[in-house]
Amino acid sequence: MRALPRPAPESRHAAMTRVKMAMVVLLSTVTGCEVGPLPYDLHYAIGVNQLGRARVELARKMQDKVEERDYLLDRLELAIVLLADGYPHVAEPIFARIYDILRTQGINQDKTVASVVLNEDVKFWKGEPFEQALAMHYIGLNHATTGGWDNLRAATLGAMFHLRDFGTDEGGKRLDNVDLVRNAADRGDDYLSDGYVPVRSNFTLAYLLNGIANQQMGRPLEAQERFQQVLQLDSNLAPLIETLRRDHYNAVFVVDFGIGPRKLGTGPDQAIARFIARTQSDDQPIIGSVDAEEAEYAPVCDVNALANDHMWNNLEDVRLAKSTVGRALLVGGLVAADYGIAEDDATVAVAGGVAVAAGAVAAAGAHADTRFCRVMPQRVYVVPVRIHDLESRIVLQLRDEPQSRLVLANVTPPAPGETALLRLVRLVTGFANAPSWAQSGVVYYSNDAAQSPGSGGNLPFILGGRCVRTPSYQTLQAYHHAGRLRDITLSQLESLYRNERITWRPTAGGIINYHVLEGGRSLIAPLPGTVGYARLFGQLHAPYEPKSAPVRSMQQRIAPAPCSPSAAPATKHTKPDRMTIDHSNAG
């Protein structure tokens, strides 16, 4: 049988073009699977502190079955937002469940945290080590917000697990995950198991809060030891430590700012995890003031830095990338293709392209797990202050960012001899100017945490007034005292709220709805000293529009006196002007 004629040999340029085009087309089809951006509305809500909306949306998508892959992730995001919005009692059972799960992660013999994330999409998420440490931090804060300093001490101890340090390269640069993959490929299977040095945690935030907790619990020697460790880790915190050592504060504000980094899969098969910043890091101090007393403090924690240090990342992505046969084929194929093109041998070049194709297809399902906790901040500050009385105005602001300004009013200081007050505060990130509610320092509505004087304060909001206290005998007595609603009983008042489907208790599962001032159906007030309290009560809202005939009729019958002309305009519930959140990298 006569042999078929061989095709004319290709030129080097043609071979190179054909192979590279094939590689581009194939790789684009099998490796372009980057997880899409965070839904715009949630990212926006977190940035501008519309946390009521955020927590309702997070609760709506939360998975119920413990075997679901995002069971822990859903709960961590919701609990952090609940705490920041001023609802620690609602967040407490959720954080308790998170703590129970994280305790089962295990600690290796060298005290480093165990790897717990397996990079297949069906695996249970427990987070990178830095996410676990921050989760323990928030668990402790939630307890301390309600006076549980002992639990803050325990939680921060749990965040101080040892880390795996693989060191630096020959030039002194810290190794990243790509370096670890290369080293593991070169040095064999033992590298990831034995190539590191177990080192003590450098999570400065945990040491600092552990010291404060010890101080509040009457453990001065342990507190001083922790404060000294903080100075060894970061000398920029010397002014903060000096303030704490004087023990002249009666309130501590833990301040979150910015939006934490987003996790991506990188490399030709996206098998290597990487975090990219969404809010850029800097050393800008925060200014904390109460009345005429003012102080500046450096940031305590940079989440971008933690996320990009290999010590704070688990090794599952590295193991996966190193062990994937597809990646080995991919690397070999690229070498063969380059060699064939260099030697003008189109046959070898095409063979190399085929190996690239096989490797890419084999590796397509081996990408890194790019799930991450989307509500983490970019940085954390700790601000100790002394509150003098209920009239004190607490102001928090980054020195060079006036749009971050937050004024907290109506914060009751602890009585003499009691432990300090602690609050988690999240500064706004996405406004061109500080929103009116953040800087007003005024409480426009009577609520269960404080009674504000003023027009309409002794008439329910649903009837045209400015009172959003829950219905009770005391609340009704206050109305009667002011000459209002004298012809209705407590049972009738409660019926008015029920007609509007408004509740004053958490719903099933411990979740609360939007507040009635934001167009929702809840009267539960957040704690004073939080952004939730400032956002709800520090601005005037649009009048309530009744849904039921009884409330509509009564509202028309007892229309309140007009509001003071000096009051701020009512806020309609639309999105405020945006500023600088980078939605192209929202994750």
Q: Is the pLDDT of residue 375 over 60?
A: yes
Burial degree of 245 (CB within 10 A; 0-12, 13-18, 19+): middle
Average pLDDT estimate for 127-139: 95
Pick the closest to residue 169 from 179, 182, 177, 159 (CA basis).
179
Q: Is the pLDDT of residue 481 over 70?
A: yes
pTM value is 0.82
Helix, strand, coil fractions of the chain, as percent rounded to 5: 45, 10, 45
Average pLDDT estimate for 452-459: 70
Other Cβ atoms within 10 Å of 482 Cβ, number: 14
Pick the closest to residue 269 from 25, 21, 32 (CA basis).
32
Give the contacts of 108 (CB within 8 A, at least 6 positions apart): 114
Handedness of CA 24, 25, 26, 27 (dihedral sign): positive
Other Cβ atoms within 10 Å of 580 Cβ, number: 11
Give the contacts of 159 (CB within 8 A, at least 6 positions apart): 132, 133, 134, 136, 137, 140, 201, 203, 206
More confidently predicted of 77 and 356: 77
Q: Is the pLDDT of residue 163 over 80?
A: yes
Lowest mean pLDDT among 160-169, 232-241, 460-469: 160-169
Other Cβ atoms within 10 Å of 474 Cβ, number: 11
Distance between CA atoms of residues 572 and 478, nearest Å: 29
Decide if 269 contacts 119 (C-beta within 8 A): no
Distance between CA atoms of residues 147 and 421, nearest Å: 7
- For residue 322, what are its two tokens? 């190193």
Distance between CA atoms of residues 266 and 321, nearest Å: 10
pLDDT digits 0-9 by tens, 204-248: 999 999 999 999 999 999 999 999 999 999 999 999 999 999 999
Q: Is the pLDDT of residue 564 over 70?
A: no
Lowest mean pLDDT among 106-115, 119-128, 241-250: 106-115
Other Cβ atoms within 10 Å of 16 Cβ, number: 19
Other Cβ atoms within 10 Å of 574 Cβ, number: 5
Residue 28: its pLDDT value, please? 31
- For residue 396, what are its two tokens? 């928090």
pLDDT digits 0-9 by tens, 172-188: 888 887 788 888 878 87
Element (H, E) at 145: helix 129-145
Q: Where are the beta strands (DSSP E) in 116-237?
A: 163-165, 197-199
Residue 570: its pLDDT value, please? 56
Place of tokens 């030129």: 11
Decide if 98 contacts 71 (C-beta within 8 A): no
- Please count the CA atoms within 13 angstroms of the CA of 183 that sit on its side-chain side: 20
Q: In what order do the strands lie in the sheet with 421-426?
A: 301-302, 379-385, 251-257, 421-426
Give the contacts of 278 (CB within 8 A, at least 6 positions apart): 258, 259, 260, 261, 262, 378, 581, 582, 585, 586, 587
Q: Is 493 left (phi over 0), alpha (psi -120 to 50) or beta?
A: alpha
Distance between CA atoms of residues 510 and 512, nearest Å: 7
Residue 366: its pLDDT value, please? 58
Average pLDDT estimate for 180-197: 82
User: Which amino acid is it at 68?
Assistant: E
Using CA atoms, how far residue 380 sits from 87, 203, 204, 427, in Å, is 20, 12, 11, 10
Local confidence band at 76 (pLDDT 50, 70, 90 cut-offs): very high
Using CA atoms, how far residue 186 sits from 47, 166, 183, 324, in Å, is 43, 15, 5, 14
pLDDT digits 0-9 by tens, 502-542: 998 876 555 667 899 999 899 999 999 999 999 999 999 99
Q: Is the pLDDT of residue 67 over 70?
A: yes
Fold classification of 46-247+301-321 is: 1.25.40
